[in-house]
Amino acid sequence: MFFSFIRHALCVVCLLGICTAQAGIVINTTRVIYPAEDREVSFGVYNNGSGEILLQSWLEPYGLSAEAPQGALADLPFIMTPALARLGADGKQLVRIIHAGRGLPADRESVFWINVQEIPQVARENTLQIAVRQRIKLFFRPRELPGDPARAAGQLQWRLLQGDRLEVFNPGPYHVSMLGIVVRQAERELARHESRMIAPQQRWQVSLKPRSGSAALDLSFIAINDFGGQEPYAARLQGDALAQAGKVP
């Protein structure tokens, strides 16, 4: 019985491996910026698998979880085309997003989830078919917003609060996405967050481990720019003074 179980397990693993090898999509960007003056924006999807797939694409509000059913979506002012497309092995597809020109704030960016899902077309006997979903962010950027989005991370306002807390405020109209947020006092780490996006006019507070005396704290993080590039920033935090991070060469 033991050897029969092993053979069965190996067969399942092999079948899963076959299914995984047959399909896989690659999106050619990590985010999409939509300037309001453009009639449309687009991104590319590539099927690097060996089997045909059905590609499904749609938009969701940013706050909606990945597990939410598609029928729960709000009526968003965008058209996404094609919503469905068939891609053969090594096939490519350009997905277009068109704004209907209404319904979004004019004084700040809006953010949405772009969902791209692959659905295997041929269900072979005794194989497991898995629909794999990928998500990237769409930033809709209204006309003539003040400031430069490339400088938004450096304009965040950081301040130490009572009770071992750190607050950051985003005064600008652009979203700021950060990775690897770390606060240290000398060599001692007081806080670490792997990722965070700060929306326009949003405040976010971070709990710190108890500080040792009044020595300054060092803040570091990596900002993600419009092209998906990573830019390191750092700041020195002292007392309750406001601080802004500078780009690290």
One domain for residues 161 and 117 = no
Enter the tokens of residue 23. 């399909």
> Does the pLDDT at position 223 exceed 80?
yes
DSSP 144-213: T-SS-GGGTGGG-EEEEETTTEEEEE--SSS-EEEEEEEEEETTEEEEEEEEEEE-TT-EEEEE-PPP-T
Count the neighbouring beta carbons within 10 Å of the beta carbon of residue 129. Answer: 13
Enter the tokens of residue 89. 């092995």
- Residue 6, domain member (yes or no): no
Q: Which among 108, 141, 174 is the end of a domain?
A: 141
Taking only the tens place, the pLDDT of each residue in 170-190 is: 999 999 999 999 999 999 999
| Percent of all residues in the chain with a pLDDT value above 70, rounded to a whole number | 82
How far apart are the two ends of the chain, measured CA to CA in Å? 63
Taking only the tens place, the pLDDT of each residue in 128-176 is: 566 688 999 999 999 999 999 999 999 999 999 998 999 999 999 999 9
> Does the pLDDT at position 236 exceed 70?
yes
- Residue 15, domain member (yes or no): no
Between 88 and 17, the more confident residue is 88
The domain tally of the chain equals 2
Residue 197: the pLDDT is 98
Taking only the tens place, the pLDDT of each residue in 58-72 is: 999 998 655 555 544
> Does the pLDDT at position 17 exceed 60?
no
> Does the pLDDT at position 25 exceed 50?
yes
- Residue 238, domain member (yes or no): yes
Residue 52: the pLDDT is 87
One domain for residues 84 and 65 = yes
Query: What's the full length of the chain, in residues?
Result: 249
**Domain containing 48: what range?**
25-141
One domain for residues 42 and 133 = yes
Task: Find the CATH number of the domain harbouring 74.
Answer: 2.60.40.10
One domain for residues 91 and 186 = no
Torsion of CA 60, 110, 201, 228, to 10 degrees: 90
Residue 142: the pLDDT is 96
CA distance 185 to 181: 14
One domain for residues 96 and 180 = no
One domain for residues 85 and 191 = no
How confident is residue 213, by pLDDT bands cut at 50, 70 and 90? confident
One domain for residues 156 and 129 = no
Residue 7: the pLDDT is 42
SS3 state of residue 224: strand
SS3 state of residue 44: strand
Residue 61: the pLDDT is 93
Enter the tokens of residue 161. 């609060």
One domain for residues 53 and 91 = yes
Give the pTM: 0.84
CA distance 199 to 216: 27
One domain for residues 103 and 161 = no
